[in-house]
Structures are given as C-alpha cells and as structure tokens.
Amino acid sequence: MDYLNDTIFPITIEVLAFLYLYIAVRGFVKRKPFLMPSRWFFVFIVLIFIPSLTLPWELNNRPTGFGLLTWVSPLFSLIFLWFFWKAFNGYTVYGVTDESFRKSLLSAIKKSKLKYKENLSGIYLETYKTTLKASLFWMGTGQILVKGKIPRKLLRSVIRKMDEELSKPGSNVDLKPFWFYLVVGGIFLILGFFAISLFRQMG
C-alpha cells in the first residue's frame, strides 16, 4: 500500500500540473476564451481514489486478512466517483467575461435552431427537456452543466459554435485565470519532481 501511495501521489501532482500548464499556455498563446470538457479533471479524481479502491486486495496479501468492512472504503469511493462524474457533466470556459459568456452561448443555441427559455435554473431547451446551467464561478472561469439528456453530437455542435463566437475578433478575454494556472501549475510541477526524488531516496 505504501508503494502504491508513493507512486500515485507524485503522478497525481504531475498530471494536475501539466493540465494547469496546458490551460495557461493555450490561453496566453491564443488570447481568446476557450472551452474544455469538465471531465478532463475526472482523471485527477480517479488517481486520488485509486489507493482506496485497491485497499481490499492490498489487505488480502497481509497476514491479518480482511473482512467485510474493508470493502466499505472502495464502495464509498465508487459512490464519490459517480457523484463527480455526474458533477463534471458539462464544459468549463476559461478566460471569459460575464457578457461574452452569455452572449456566445445564446448565439450558439440560436444558430443551432433550438427552442429555449431562460429561467432561474438556466437555459431550458424545450425540445429535449434539458437545462444548461451556465454561470461564472470564479475569475474569468465559467461552467456549463447539463441537467437532462441531450444528444452528445448536438451538444458538441452547440459548444463548437460557442467556441467560434468566443474566438471572433473583439471578443472580450480575461487573462487572470491563465496567470493563476501558470503559477499553480509551475508549483505543482516542482512539487511533483521533489516528491519523486524524495520517495526514491526513502525507497
């Protein structure tokens, strides 16, 4: 178990570091808002839960054996993973302003010829009885959560049109999140290398 933790911990940090640095570099190079599937971060969540998921098999190789209670940890881990999988059902927008976020999403929906209504919950797509919850939750960063069922191909088409709107000349961009991801990604990258070096010395 110690070996597994020593391996997963630096890998998790490095994966998150490269993801943050990718977002930062892409933002600074293009200097336009862009969208990414929120489930990219699900890889990071899975890495965190790997030790608890493998706990019963690790304990089975030890003299003490294992009982029914050892399966509680992986069971709860699977429940949390299911919750995060559902929570990440959508897209994250980086470098966007409040005005350009709403404008680009509504324009994409209209170009897709979808009937919609705006309400307190978000943008309700009447044909598919699905709500798109769009909101800015942090500086220059927004999220589109899908509540309901909509054809994946259609959703990707809407997102592509929205990305095109955000890429048009004159579209407002907020560079603050890219500075944040650049700094944090750099810190995580260094920490990951230190963790790998430390665990090698201890091993």
What's this model's pTM, rounded to 2 decimal places?
Answer: 0.78
pLDDT at 59: 56
Q: What is the distance in angstroms between the CA of the first residue and the CA of the last residue of the chain?
A: 13
Q: Half-sphere exposure (CA, 13 Å, Cβ side) for 85?
A: 7
Residue 83 has which token pair?
A: 């919750």
Does 62 fall in a domain? no
pLDDT at 82: 86
Strand order in the sheet with 130-138: 34-37, 90-94, 141-147, 130-138, 122-125, 116-119
Does 190 fall in a domain? no
- Rounded Cα distance between 124 and 113, Å, is 14
Does 97 fall in a domain? yes
- Domain tally for the chain? 1
Whichever domain contains 97, its CATH number is 3.30.310
Helix axes 2-30, 42-53, angle to 10 degrees: 180
Does 16 fall in a domain? no
Helix axes 72-87, 42-53, angle to 10 degrees: 170
pLDDT at 197: 75
Does 78 fall in a domain? no
Give the range of the structural domain holding residue 124, as residue numbers without chain letter. Answer: 32-37+90-174
Does 116 fall in a domain? yes
| Blockwise average pLDDT, block size 10, the chain, 203 residues | 61 86 94 90 77 64 55 79 82 92 93 92 91 89 91 93 90 92 93 76 65
Does 135 fall in a domain? yes
pLDDT at 1: 44
